[in-house]
Amino acid sequence: MQHVVPILNVRDVAASLAYYVDVLGFQLSWAWGEPPTYGGVVSGRAEIQFCQDGQGSTGTWVAVWVDDVDDLYEVLLDRDVDIRQPPTTFEWGVREMNVADPDGHRIRFSTGTEAPPDGPDLVD
């Protein structure tokens, strides 16, 4: 096996691609169709694909590992992002931020840490 790529079910692939590129900072990888009904974004080794009304289900959660979740948080504060939980250190050794996308999917931007827990439980 090489890697896993989540496929998120979305209402509008073009809008999802734009949100993940323009707001969350991913790069457009590819889009299929005109208008697109399938496409993908990348950031480093992370990849997410989108399928219009076909694969996956609403409300999927995806963990995306980043070098520094606090730095990303500062960048996203100036953008139209639905941050459900700011960076929080959890007892399982991860500091993460919980973000909802326009289709109701959740992205858990995560960074490993040895720091003690510092906040509430994970927000749904």
Whether 106 is covered by a domain: the verdict is yes
Whether 93 is covered by a domain: the verdict is yes
Whether 118 is covered by a domain: the verdict is no
**Are the C-beta atoms of 86 and 97 separated by less than 8 Å?**
yes
Whether residue 124 has pLDDT greater than 90? no
Residue 44, both tokens:
């480093």
What is the model's pTM? 0.91
| Dihedral over Cα of 73, 63, 61, 46: its sign | positive
Q: Who wins on pLDDT, 44 or 1?
A: 44
Q: Would you report the helix, strand and coil content of the chain in percent, each value rounded to 5?
A: 15, 45, 40
| Dihedral over Cα of 51, 52, 57, 58: its sign | positive
**Are the C-beta atoms of 30 and 72 separated by less than 8 Å?**
no
Whether 41 is covered by a domain: the verdict is yes
Per the structure, how many domains does the chain have? 1
Q: Which domain holds residue 95?
A: 7-112
Q: What pLDDT shows up at residue 68?
A: 97
